[in-house]
Structure 1
Amino acid sequence: MDWQIGFTLAVVVIALGLLVWEVASPDLVLMAALISLGITGILTPRETFSGFSNPAVAMVGVLFMLSAAVRETGALDLTVGRLLASARSVRQGIGRIVLPVAALSGFLNNSPIVAMMTPSVIDWARRSRLSASHFLIPLSYASILGSTLTLIGTSTNLVVDGLVRDSGMVPLGFFELFPVGLPIVAVGSVYLIFIAPHLLPNRPLPTDTLGERRREYVTTMVVKTGCALVGSSVEEAGLRHLPGLFLVEIERNRRVITPVRPEVVIEAEDRLVFAGVVATIVDLQKIRGLVPLSEEELEEQDAPTRTHGLVEAVVSSSSPLIGRSIRESNFRSAYDAAVIAVHRNAERVPGKIGEIVLQPGDTLLMQSSPDFMQHNRNSPDFYLASELSGSEKPRFNRAGVALTVVVAMVLAVSTGVLPITLAGFVAVGIMLATRCVSPKKARESVPWSILVVIAAGLGIAQAMAKTGAAEWIAQSVFGVAHGLGPLGALIIIYCLCMLMAELLHHTAAVAIMFPIAVALAGQVGADPRPFVIAIAIGSTCCFASPFAYQTHLIVYGAGNYRFKDFVRVGLPLNLICAGVALYTIPRIWSF
């Protein structure tokens, strides 16, 4: 062993230790390891930073932008959201989550999907009087299962493809993983729907146990023609058991329906009067065709339909609004915002919005223009103004465009019309041009730390291959596994990938194991292709640790889970996926 092999292995071992003990974030650890390989001359400057020019890094960023566009248009709410609304039990709910999420995760990055779906699942569980802890782990697991279907399902697959290209092998096809991914999704879904419910905890969320008083408002929502709620009863629409919100009455053709019975059918142009907390009011306005009734709409004027979200502001004692009704103050013209509800002295203020006379300390819930916060954050008219996170209304009129663009990209790549990276950038360009997503939102959607991890991992993998460190490890493994043959070597590689991905970042596991797997395939006289597939699947199908995957971390706190919950539910799924993969891979990709 020469010094370059020893130094490279030492750097890798130290990096592994730092990642296991969480001394620093993965991007810092892997970047430090890469730079240390560069300053010692093991990698040239061009080789050190070659990972940043790899198409896989660019494609991962593109996938996050595409997912942001789908989220901004509310396309998921129009698909998965409607399926979930009709579920009435734990098993039905898991089934309505697992299958569509797995299918979507094959074509969109799974982290944004889970981030988008988590609040919807929690709200639906509350309305159905079920614990959200029954559904969030299956949501995360389904997104990972589905990501094994295609090349763009997860960044892990793209990193493997990048390493394959750098090694001079035939690149992975768009649907090359499908023959092993499909049985994994099928068997994994059966486990999640029929077995996992017996293992999942029934635990209340932290927010369900809080007893503090929350600000409550009375607000009116108008059911527009084409709204998803038209023709459904109050019970079917899920409006009977809203968390922290009560449907007080329905105004229809100058007639008031109160109390509102569960069987009342919602009609177009109904005005639904709600009383309750602002968080659920925010969720209501994300329903397509359900819009807040502002003071201007009461006068049959145009509402601020191009608003970007909701804002809360407290009226100051020196405000010119004091002693005047909202209509008299000409609020819309003065502030380019429309008041949709008022809260006063820990009580909600009833009555028509335009007729409420404002007092000092009143909290206004407003639908505002994009510039409201910039112009009024320090205004003497308000003590405090704050934008409500996540209150932006989806661009529903662009949902069809977003889904069409994603489908067109998949077809272009799968038929060979365009390379995957170019097709991705063309798709993002169309999303921006058609205003499915704003440039600002697209930029903000890219997790730059993940891109650094991927690029640094590619550089480390190159050092492992260049110095012979991977070959040295492969020879050592071959010495231990001598006589097991190619299948035994494949099992070892898969298990090592799965173990490293559970303990480390999955990209780091791929970067370290890829050169070792290729070298070991050469030692046992086998084609490296099945080993490459095993790395992609083994590094993805990791369910026993909440820290193994970003989607697990998203639901970890949101579902009030414990580490043991992931071990109890995820470890059997690890073994199931390993069994399916190790049975299928040698039969599709021969040694």
Structure 2
Amino acid sequence: MNLDMIIMVLIFVGTIFTLIKFQQKSGLVFGVAFVVTYLTNNISDQQVIDSFSNQGLLILVLLMTCSVAIEKTSLIRWITGKIEGRSYFVTWLKLFLSTAIGSAFLNNTAVVSTMISPVRNNATIPASKLLLPLSYAAILGGTLTLVGTSTNLIVNSMLTEAGHEGFQFFSFTLVGLFALVITSVAIYFVSTKLPTIKANKQDFQCYLLNAKVQEHSNLIGKSITDAGLRHLDSLFLVEISRQNRVISPISPNEQLKANDRLVFSGDVRQVTQIKQFDGIEIVVDSNSVSVDNMTEVVVRPDSDLINKTLKKADFRSKFNAAVIAFKRDGEALSGKLGEIKIRAGDYLVLVTGHDFSKRQNVKKNFITLSGVEPNHKLTGKKQSFAVGGFLVAILLAAVGVVSLFKALVVLFGLLMFTGCLSFQDIKQRLPYNIWLIVGSAIALSHGLGNTGVLSFVTSLISLELTLDNAFIFLVGLYFITLILTELVTNNAAAALMFPLAYSIPLFYGIEPTPFILSVAFAASSSFISPYGYQTNLMVFNAGHYKLMDFVKAGIPVSITFSTSVLLAIYVFYPIVKS
């Protein structure tokens, strides 16, 4: 090995180990690897330009940006209204199918975030029995199409950059659908074994929330019962303050009057229910201000807040928001909120200021569960155009009338022109981190090829690949990627393993498509760890799960999914000479 090869091997191996240690900073890790590769002259200027302007990568960026317009419509929320059934099986089946189908064409993070609230508010079925299957359905649904998950698009972008014909829209569907059908049986079985986690007052430390009856409210003169204030979900009206007089306990027949101060106790996450009542304004006493926006968020793995306290992070001025509840792994934390160090996956309930949704750092630091996201709803003709335009663009690309890239470019322009997308939306939601990861990974693969590392690794394989034994190599490649995706996230695992999946089969004159598919599906099979995939992280906190709940449910699901994927690839994409 010459010096350049040694340097590239050190960069590649160092990237893997650094990703394992600093999983929350995957974009930074890949960025550093790219810079070192470039500074050591292992990639050319043109290869750098090609890496970050790759058509497949631009398709990924365009798709994720255009999908913001869909999130601003009521489409997903309309779907969530149809999921409740008369029995657990019917509800589970509706939830699973609607989530899987939606995730095949839409951003699965948006699908899951919209589904969480109605699932938690289900009066008959504990949320813990449905939320984990919800995430699993989103993962499986994402494997059905080229646009279903960023992993598929990342692999496709690296494939086209290598000079190979890219995947078609439904290239993943046969394998994905077969795996979905088989794995859904395992998911339903483990769903019935999930713990029943019921919320109670102790879970939320009985937070007190203040509201005021406005003078124009149509609830004035109505009794507490008639106003509907005695049947809120996990919120309890404990007292009324009226003209320096406190009324407690409260009779069901007590009539509301203008300027009454209502004190609620219970789950702060359900406070948005109060906003549904005409003329009742929520007030947070600790801030001494009235607020119009509250939201639930999960701290992202790559957030700048990690290992900082709320006080050190200057949370209030940075986000114009106050934290009134703080959860970790389903348990309330003790001590002062301002002194608790923030970790990835922490669940926060925020009281937000008027410009919270416009701040560019919000999307970077949080996954929003409910509240201020999306920023502005689309209604009327704009909503119809956003949904119709997106469906037409995907349909035209799927049947081959136009390329997916052209369809998305035109759609993006029309969404901007009609106001369905704004420059503010783009600033907040442009996937800079994924762009950096994929562009850097493509550049890294160029470096590995330029220095001869890939050829050297191929020569080290003691058993030459043939049509008879190549499937054994494919299986090994799959499980290495599977382990990596649980350690370093799905996108990073796909980007790291693609060069081996593409170059080694080609060296032996074998068509690389089955091997690339094995990497794509393995990178999407994060079922065991709550931190390997964003939707897992979202339901982990929302469902109050423990880490072992994921492990116990995820292992049989992962085994079933892996077996069905490998069998489907063997049947539908047989290994042949290139």
| TM-score, normalised relative to structure 1 | 0.70
- In structure 2, distance between residues paired with 1:562 and 1:371: 35
Superposition deviation, residue 478 in structure 1: 5.0
Q: Which residue of 2 aligns with 1:582?
A: 566
Q: Does 1:550 align with 2:515?
A: no
2:544 & 2:403 partners in 1: Cα distance? 42
> Partner of 2:139 in structure 1?
144
* Partner residue in 2 for 1:202: 196
Q: Assess if the C-alpha contact under 8 Å between 1:94 and 1:192 holds in 2.
A: no
Answering whether residue 546 of structure 2 is matched by residue 562 of structure 1, we say yes
Q: 1:52 to 1:371 in 2, by over 3 A?
A: closer
Q: Indicate conservation of the 8 Å contact 1:504/1:548, yes or no.
A: yes
- What is the CA–CA distance in structure 2 between the aligned matches of 1:574 and 1:568, rounded to whole Å? 11
Give CA-to-partner distance per residue, 1:543-579, whole Å, 9 cap, x none. 1122221222222222222222222111212211211
Q: 1: distance between equivalents of 2:450 and 2:136? A: 36
Amino acid at match of 1:83: K
Q: Distance in 2 between matches of 1:391 and 1:156?
A: 24
**Which residues of structure 2 form unaligned runs of 5+?**
219-225, 238-250, 254-261, 291-351, 359-369
Which region of structure 1 is more displaced relative to structure 2, 552-561 or 564-573? 552-561
Instruction: Identify the residue that residue 256 of structure 2 maps to in structure 1.
Output: none
How far is the alpha carbon of 1:424 from its aligned partner?
1.8
Alpha-carbon distance in structure 2 between the residues aligned to 1:524 and 1:373: 53
Q: Residue 105 of structure 2 is aligned with which of 107, 118, 129? A: 107
Aligned to 1:502: 486
The residue aligned with 2:68 is: 68
Distance in 1 between the 2:391 and 2:378 partners? 19
> 1:95 aligns to what?
93
Residues 403, 276 of structure 1: alpha-carbon distance in 2 compared, 3 angstrom cutoff: farther
8 Å CA contact 1:527–1:590 kept in 2: the answer is no
Residue type of the alignment partner of 1:116:
T
1:244 aligns with 2:235: yes
The one-letter amino acid of 1:200's match is: L
Label 1:190 to 1:283 Cα distance change in 2 as closer, same or farther (>3 A).
farther
Paired residue type of 2:107: N
Q: Point out the structure with max Rg over C-alpha.
A: 1
Counterpart residue identity of residue 161, structure 1: N
One-letter amino acid matched to 1:565: D
Quick one: which of 396, 410, 431 aligns to 1:412? 396
Secondary structure at the residue paired with 1:416?
coil
Aligned residue among 392, 395, 405 for 2:378: 395
Structure 1 pair 393/216, CA: closer, same or farther in 2 (3 Å)?
farther
Once the two structures are superposed, the pairs formed by residues 190-589 of structure 1 within 5 Å of their partners are 190-193=185-188, 195-204=189-198, 209-217=203-211, 242-244=233-235, 280=270, 282=272, 293=278, 389-390=372-373, 394-397=377-380, 398-477=382-461, 479=463, 485-589=469-573
User: Do the aligned partners of 1:150 and 1:178 also contact (CA within 8 Å) in 2?
Assistant: yes
1:149–1:175 contact (8 Å) kept in structure 2: yes
Q: Which residue of 1 aligns with 2:11?
A: 11
Give distance in 2, aligned partners of 1:485 and 1:77. 49
In angstroms, what is the RMSD of aligned CA positions? 3.9
Query: Which letter does structure 1 place at the counterpart of 2:103?
Result: S
Q: CA separation in 2, counterparts of 1:401 and 1:281?
A: 33
Task: Give the conservation status (yes or no) of the 8 Å contact 1:510–1:535.
Answer: yes
1:169 deviation in Å?
1.4
**Counterpart position of 1:365:** none
Distance 1:514 1:23, change over 3 A: closer
Rate the CA distance shift 1:577–1:313 in 2: closer, same or farther, 3 A: closer
Partners of 1:521 and 1:527 within 8 A in 2: yes
Question: Which residue matches 1:34?
Answer: 34
Are the equivalent residues in 2 in contact too, given 1:73–1:399 (CA < 8 A)? yes
Q: Is 1:182 matched up with 2:174? A: no
**How big is the shift at 1:522?**
3.2
Q: Distance in 1 between matches of 2:286 and 2:544?
A: 37
Q: Distance in 2 between matches of 1:140 and 1:211?
A: 28
Q: Whole-Å Cα distance in 1 between the matches of residues 390 and 202 of structure 2?
A: 37
Secondary structure, in 3 states, of the residue corresponding to 2:463?
helix
Q: How many residues align?
A: 469
Say if 2:232 and 2:273, in contact at 8 Å, map to a contact too: no
Q: Decide whether aligned partners of structure 1 residues 244 and 435 sit closer, same or farther in structure 2, where only a CA change above 3 A counts.
A: farther
- Cα offset for 1:154? 0.9
Instruction: Using the TM superposition, give the Cα deviation of residue 71 of structure 1 relative to its aligned residue in structure 2, in angstroms.
Output: 2.0
Cα separation, 1, equivalents of 2:357 and 2:490: 40
1:514–1:558: structure 2 CA closer, same or farther, 3 Å change rule?
same
* Displacement of 1:101: 0.8
Percent identical residues: 24
Using the TM superposition, give the Cα deviation of residue 495 of structure 1 relative to its aligned residue in structure 2, in angstroms: 1.5
Once the 2 structures are TM-superposed, how far is the Cα of residue 131 of structure 1 from its aligned partner?
Answer: 3.2
Deviation at 1:119, TM superposition (A): 3.1
> Is residue 474–residue 517 contact of structure 1 (8 Å, CA) maintained in 2?
no
**Cα deviations by residue, 1:272-320 (Å, 9 ceiling, x for unpaired):** xx996885463587xxxxx76459xxxxxxxxxxxxxx98587999x9x
* SS in structure 2 of the partner of residue 407 of structure 1: helix
Give the secondary structure class of the aligned counterpart of 1:546: coil
Distance 1:88 1:5, change over 3 A: farther
1:144 Cα offset (Å): 0.9
Give the conservation status (yes or no) of the 8 Å contact 2:61–2:435: yes
Shift of 1:542: 2.3
- 1:515/1:214 CA distance change after superposition, 3 Å: same
Which of 118, 121, 133 is the equivalent residue of 2:119? 121
Q: Provide the secondary structure at the position in 1 that maps to 2:204.
A: coil
Instruction: Report the alpha carbon displacement of residue 99 of structure 1 after superposing the two structures with TM.
Output: 0.7
Q: Deviations over 1:389-430 (max 9, x none)?
A: 459674343443332122111112112233222322322333
1:292–1:438 distance in 2 versus 1, CA, 3 Å? farther
Q: Kindly tell me: are residues 78 and 478 of structure 1, through their superposed partners in 2, closer, same or farther at Cα, counting changes over 3 Å? A: farther
Q: Secondary structure at the match of 1:215?
A: strand
CA displacement at 1:5 relative to structure 2: 2.1
2: distance between equivalents of 1:369 and 1:200? 38
Shift of 1:536: 1.4
Q: 1:322 matched to which residue of 2?
A: none
Q: Distance in 2 between matches of 1:514 and 1:373?
A: 37
Q: Which range moved further: 387-396 or 400-409?
A: 387-396
Structure-2 change in CA distance of 1:403 and 1:488 (3 Å): same
| 8 A Cα contact 2:357 2:372, kept in partner | no
1:507 deviates by: 2.3
Structure-2 change in CA distance of 1:240 and 1:403 (3 Å): farther
User: In terms of mean alpha carbon deviation, does 489-498 or 415-424 score higher?
Assistant: 415-424
Q: Deviations over 1:77-130 (max 9, x none)?
A: 111x1122x3355444332221111101111122222233223322x24x33x4
SS of residue in 2 equivalent to 1:217: strand
User: Separation in 2 of the partners of 1:391 and 1:169?
Assistant: 38
Show CA shifts across 1:349-394 (max 9, x none). Answer: xxxxxxxxxxxxxxxxxxx9978999xxxxxxxxxxxx97459674
Amino acid at match of 1:82: G
CA contact (8 A) 1:159 1:507 kept: yes
Contact between 2:96 and 2:133, CA under 8 Å: does it hold in 1? yes
Q: Distance in 1 between matches of 2:376 and 2:403?
A: 34
Report deviation, 1:160: 1.0
Q: Conserved in 2, the CA contact under 8 Å of 1:75 and 1:400?
A: no
Matched residues in 1 for 2:444 and 2:574: separation? 29
Task: Give 1:498 deviation, angstroms.
Answer: 1.4
Does the 8 Å contact 2:179/2:568 carry over to 1? Answer: no
